[in-house]
Amino acid sequence: MDRQQLFDRIRQKGSYLCVGLDTDIRKIPSHLRNSDDPLFEFNRQIIDATHEYAVAYKPNVAFYESLGPAGWQSLERTLKYIPEGIFTIADAKRGDIGNTSSLYARAFFEQMQFDAVTVAPYMGADSVAPFLAFKNKWTILLACTSNPGSNDFQTIESRTTGRPLYEEVIVKACEWAGPDQLMFVAGATAPERIKRVRSLAPDHFLLVPGIGAQGGSLSAVSEAGMNKMCGLLVNATRSILYASDGKDFAEEAAKEARLLRDEMSSYLDRFL
């Protein structure tokens, strides 16, 4: 899916919602736990209930990997179940020396056919290049994350440029690829950083975690980050997935997703 197609979907749906499929075997409703493939069964019902309101799904690979080979099968089944025309992101935060990153890129782009993978920047250009080598795919590079630890290293200011590390990542990565291949992760918990990211990368899409359970504000994020092609994919996970732990979990997930879509729709009208 290219940038124009993604924007078209956002306009059609009035939504820039990404639903995180961080499906925790310990948190899914008890009546699902005895099914053959509980993670997939939960995801299937979540996808059925929310795909009208979402433009992207983002399974965090850890939740599947931690279950061994069976977990990888749940992930593959989930990916195949996501309807055509919805953007898919493997939240994997990989990054290794070049020949190794190539293998990760092939795993997520070829073997599993995700549209995008999240990548960690610490190891630099040659660790990211193998992902960017897939021209019709997307690399989503961590810039400023939404967790408390984002203040440990990402905000260290360079003696040479005065810029914090997350800005250095953006400036350098913009030399590696343009907005048709590269997105950045910018956490909702610090909207002032989203503003800085937007000024350094005016055309890139930003993947924004941290609203809902982590406390970020959708309104502040949208005001700080929206560009003329929306430029935002705002992720919600726990507030949707675990809206209820009963048999009505999918119905309640749909309500939460619809509420977010309605709010996003109003920001698209206001800021676009």
Instruction: State which H helix or E strand residue 139 sits in.
Output: strand 138-144
In angstroms, the CA 37 to CA 31 distance is: 12
How far is Cα 118 from Cα 207, in angstroms, rounded to an integer? 10
CB 123 within 8 Å of CB 95:
yes
Among this protein's residues, is 93 annotated catalytic? yes
CB closer to a copy of itself, 2 vs 245 = 245
Residue 265's Cβ-count burial label (10 Å; 0-12, 13-18, 19+) is: middle
Of 157 and 251, CB closest to a copy of itself: 157
Spatial distance between the Cα atoms of 129 and 203, rounded to a whole number of angstroms:
20
Shortest CB 156 distance to a copy of itself, Å: 5
Q: Which is the catalytic residue, given 13, 93, 172, 195?
A: 93
Contact 234, 264 (CB under 8 A): yes
- Sites of contact with a copy of itself (CB under 8 A): 22, 60, 62-63, 65-66, 68-70, 72-73, 76, 91, 93-98, 100-101, 103-104, 106-107, 111, 120-128, 142, 145-154, 156-160, 162, 165, 168-169, 172
Closest approach of Cβ 2 to a copy of itself, in Å? 26
Nearer to a copy of itself, 117 or 254 (CB): 117
3-class state of residue 20 by DSSP: strand
Q: Least separation, in Å, of the C-beta of 226 and a copy of itself?
A: 24
Query: Cβ closer to a copy of itself: 52 or 125?
Result: 125
CB of 159 to a copy of itself, least distance (A): 4
Structure tokens at 30: 């008890």
Point out the residues that are catalytic: 93
